[in-house]
């Protein structure tokens, strides 16, 4: 919470927090201007921003005080997809739009400061989910990050804008039977929405759009040396990770990031912030959705708790955008899912749809390849300044590996028990972006407040072990290379070990990339949940628009593809 006595003179990233505090009514205009000026902003600029934020706050306060009994559209979840859908729909002044978000936003530094994004995990801005113990991970339970804030995952993640490989969208088009999910159309959307600040590429990149995307500025020597080491072993370096590199067999690059003027620029800022003065858009934070209201085969509205009161509001059309875990959970709480599973949770089956909660996918990342610095290097930018995409087997159609450089010596609980973690070091963490393993999301009980049962089944498929074993080999070759020698004091983990010992390392060190997807799969078969228009099979006026609709998880970080899903949903609803 912002306090008048706080000193912001050495905290430029807190300007964004001040703006949000004013927008949410937590400080008044006069206090905002005084604190902004003390942080180095001109009085004129602070006054202009204060007027805009005050107008947005006043409008949203009035909208909340006069909730209507029916809206043309209700969107549940203000994440990377939901912000897009709400913004695009509210552009039409003839329709009334209600956006519900369980989280809010506070002034947690990790929401604005790119360098400490990892402090968001397990904080009040994260749902703080953990998986069930997983057999292939030696019965470990892993943290499964999910954003609980305006902006969703785009507010708590590492800010990496990774479009996905060309083949990802070709697969989606094939599974859905709709070419509008294919690469050509998806590329046209990316070019329309991006405000790309990096090397021009008119064939692939857009400028002037709503999403500000930068190349990293002045990356750490450990990132530049890792890229040189990778090139020496045959992994080509690219200037742009979202250009030609996502159409070919792989390469390495510094990631694109949603950082503007040194601060996170999440999808709330990109899409929703400019719309908050509109009289036809109501945004409720702290609104906990419990179920879809059904009348026969018609989704009639939504039930949610807000300010300690239960509300039921009707909708012309209802869009669930709460992420792969919570969207599946709310569908099941509403009696939509596998009838036998619902019966076990003492929920009456309203609509038998066996694919709900199935096909769960996430990218496992192995925090197990760790080095100690000779001389400590402070993390820069988002503290994750280099990545590469590569094939574990040459015959694959696209890369299945995405290791990431982490400029802090991060590791899970089991690894801390097995190895002495250095005070100063870095990790080159093997990541698997084409996992063969599939998991589930199920209800723990019929209580909406109960966290769901998330079973990712990480490393269950033997191909995943084989691929990540190759990933460990590549990461060790880079980390122990001549290029890295001046930076590295010693390899902490895993060292020269056998293939069997690498498999043990994987089971002890694999964690979640935070890319939960797939539980409401788009397709045409009986296990799919939505069709190519993102409409729930067999029900009217009910749609899903978030990462849960992915038939197969994309190659890389999933924020950008979730924005595409939101854009496609808006296209469908407004066409």
pLDDT in tens, the chain (575 residues): 333 333 333 344 556 677 777 776 777 778 888 888 877 788 887 787 777 778 888 898 899 999 999 999 999 999 999 999 999 999 999 999 999 999 987 567 788 889 889 999 999 999 999 999 999 999 999 999 999 999 999 999 999 999 999 999 999 999 999 999 999 999 999 999 999 999 999 999 999 999 999 999 999 999 999 999 999 999 999 999 999 999 999 999 999 999 998 899 999 999 999 999 999 999 999 999 999 999 999 999 999 999 999 999 999 999 999 999 999 999 999 999 999 999 999 999 999 999 999 999 999 999 989 999 999 999 999 999 999 999 999 999 999 999 999 999 988 777 877 778 889 999 999 999 999 999 999 999 999 999 999 999 999 999 999 999 999 999 999 999 999 999 999 999 999 999 999 999 999 999 999 999 999 999 999 999 999 999 999 999 999 999 999 999 999 999 999 999 999 999 999 99
Q: Is residue 42 part of a domain?
A: yes
Integer angstrom CA distances of residue 180 from 169, 173, 186, 188: 9, 7, 7, 10
Radius of gyration (C-alpha) of the chain in whole angstroms: 23
Helix (H) or strand (E) holding 553: none
Under a CB-based contact definition with an 8 Å cutoff, are residues 371 and 479 in contact? yes
Q: Is residue 28 part of a domain?
A: yes
Question: What does the alpha-carbon distance between residue 162 and residue 192 come to, in Å, rounded to a whole number?
Answer: 16
List the end-to-end C-alpha distance of the chain, in Å, as a whole number: 42
Phi, psi dihedral angles at 321 (to 5 degrees): -135, 50
SS3 277: coil
Question: What does the alpha-carbon distance between residue 108 and residue 128 come to, in Å, rounded to a whole number?
Answer: 16
CA-based nearest residue to 104, from 213, 1, 212: 1
Report DSSP state, residue 369: -
CA-based nearest residue to 79, from 125, 123, 14, 117: 125
SS3 215: strand
Under a CB-based contact definition with an 8 Å cutoff, are residues 160 and 384 in contact? yes
Question: What does the alpha-carbon distance between residue 287 and residue 178 come to, in Å, rounded to a whole number?
Answer: 34
Contacts of 270 (CB under 8 A, 6+ apart): 83, 210, 211, 212, 258
CA-based nearest residue to 369, from 510, 234, 252, 514: 510
Phi, psi dihedral angles at 250 (to 5 degrees): 130, 175
Q: Which tokens in the block code for residue 21?
A: 């505090």
Give the up-direction half-sphere exposure of residue 316: CA atoms within 13 A in the CB hemisphere.
10
Contacts of 414 (CB under 8 A, 6+ apart): 138, 140, 508, 509
Q: Is residue 37 part of a domain?
A: yes
Phi, psi dihedral angles at 324 (to 5 degrees): -65, -25
Q: Is residue 151 part of a domain?
A: no
How many domains is the chain partitioned into structurally?
A: 1
CA 556 from centroid of its chain's CA atoms: 11
Q: Is residue 411 part of a domain?
A: no
Integer angstrom CA distances of residue 139 from 20, 114, 459, 462, 499: 41, 33, 12, 17, 21
Cα-Cα-Cα-Cα dihedral of 147, 153, 154, 158, to 10°?
100
Residue-level pLDDT at 152: 96
Q: Is residue 460 part of a domain?
A: no
Helix (H) or strand (E) holding 174: helix 166-176
Residue-level pLDDT at 14: 59
Question: What does the alpha-carbon distance between residue 270 and residue 264 come to, in Å, rounded to a whole number?
Answer: 11
Under a CB-based contact definition with an 8 Å cutoff, are residues 468 and 432 in contact? yes
Q: Which tokens in the block code for residue 237?
A: 């370096």
Say if residue 399 is preceded by a cis peptide, omega within 30 of 0. Answer: no
Pairing of strands 370-373, 425-429: antiparallel
Q: Is residue 43 part of a domain?
A: yes
CA angle 227, 229, 235 (to 5 degrees): 70
Question: What does the alpha-carbon distance between residue 197 and residue 209 come to, in Å, rounded to a whole number?
Answer: 11
pTM for this predicted structure: 0.94
Q: Which residue numbers are catalytic?
A: 515
Integer angstrom CA distances of residue 385 from 50, 101, 195, 293: 34, 31, 20, 45
In the chain, % helix, strand, coil (3-state, to 5) comes to 35, 20, 45
Integer angstrom CA distances of residue 82 from 86, 147, 152, 228, 236: 6, 12, 9, 39, 36
Residue 46 domain boundaries: 1-66
Q: Is residue 226 part of a domain?
A: no
């Amino acid at each position: 919470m912002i306090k008048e006595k706080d000193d912001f003179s050495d905290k430029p990233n807190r300007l964004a927090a001040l703006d949000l505090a004013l927008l949410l009514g937590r400080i008044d205009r006069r206090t905002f201007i005084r604190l902004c000026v003390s942080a180095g902003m001109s009085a004129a600029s602070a006054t202009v921003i204060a007027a805009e934020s005050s107008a947005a706050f006043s409008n949203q306060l009035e909208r909340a005080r006069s909730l209507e009994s029916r809206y043309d559209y209700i969107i549940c979840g203000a994440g990377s997809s939901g912000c897009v859908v709400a913004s695009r729909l509210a552009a039409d002044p003839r329709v009334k739009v209600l956006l519900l978000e369980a989280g809010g936003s506070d002034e947690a530094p990790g929401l604005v400061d790119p360098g400490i994004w990892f402090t968001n995990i397990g904080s009040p801005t994260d749902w703080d989910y953990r998986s069930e113990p997983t057999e292939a991970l030696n019965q470990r339970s892993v943290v499964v990050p999910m954003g609980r804030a305006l902006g969703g995952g785009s507010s708590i993640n590492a800010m990496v804008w990774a479009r996905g490989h060309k083949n990802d969208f070709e697969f989606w088009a094939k599974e859905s039977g709709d070419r509008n999910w294919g690469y050509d159309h998806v590329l046209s959307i990316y070019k329309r929405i991006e405000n790309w600040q990096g090397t021009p590429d008119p064939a692939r990149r857009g400028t002037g759009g709503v999403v500000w995307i930068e190349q990293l500025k002045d990356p750490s020597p450990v990132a530049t040396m890792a890229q040189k080491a990778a090139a020496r072993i045959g992994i080509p370096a690219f200037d742009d990770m979202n250009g030609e590199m996502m159409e070919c067999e792989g390469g390495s690059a510094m990631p694109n990031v949603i950082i503007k003027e040194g601060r996170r620029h999440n999808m709330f800022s990109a899409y929703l912030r400019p719309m908050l003065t509109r009289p036809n858009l109501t945004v409720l934070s702290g609104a906990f959705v419990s179920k879809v209201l059904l009348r026969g085969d018609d989704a009639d509205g939504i039930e949610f708790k807000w300010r300690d009161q239960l509300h039921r509001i009707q909708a012309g059309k209802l869009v669930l955008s709460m992420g792969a875990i919570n969207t599946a959970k709310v569908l099941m709480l509403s009696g939509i899912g596998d009838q036998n599973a619902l019966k076990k949770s003492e929920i009456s089956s309203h609509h038998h749809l066996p694919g709900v909660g199935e096909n769960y996918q996430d990218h496992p990342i192995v925090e197990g390849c760790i080095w100690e610095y000779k001389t400590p290097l402070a993390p820069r930018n988002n503290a994750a300044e280099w990545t590469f995409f590569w094939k574990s087997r040459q015959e694959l159609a696209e890369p299945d590996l995405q290791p990431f450089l982490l400029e802090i010596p991060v590791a899970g609980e089991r690894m801390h028990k097995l190895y002495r973690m250095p005070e100063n070091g870095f990790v080159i963490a093997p990541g698997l972006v084409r996992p063969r393993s599939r998991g589930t999301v199920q209800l723990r009980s019929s209580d909406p407040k109960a966290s769901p049962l998330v079973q990712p089944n990480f490393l269950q498929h033997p191909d995943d072990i084989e691929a990540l074993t190759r990933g460990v080999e590549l990461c060790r070759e880079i980390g122990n290379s001549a290029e890295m020698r001046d930076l590295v004091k010693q390899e902490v983990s895993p060292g020269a070990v056998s293939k069997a010992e690498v498999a043990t390392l994987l089971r002890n060190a694999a964690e979640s990339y935070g890319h939960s997807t797939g539980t409401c799969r788009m397709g045409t078969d009986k296990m799919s949940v939505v069709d190519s228009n993102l409409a729930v099979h067999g029900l009217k006026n009910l749609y899903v628009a978030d990462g849960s609709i992915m038939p197969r998880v994309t190659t890389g970080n999933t924020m950008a593809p979730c924005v595409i899903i939101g854009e496609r949903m808006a296209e469908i609803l407004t066409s």
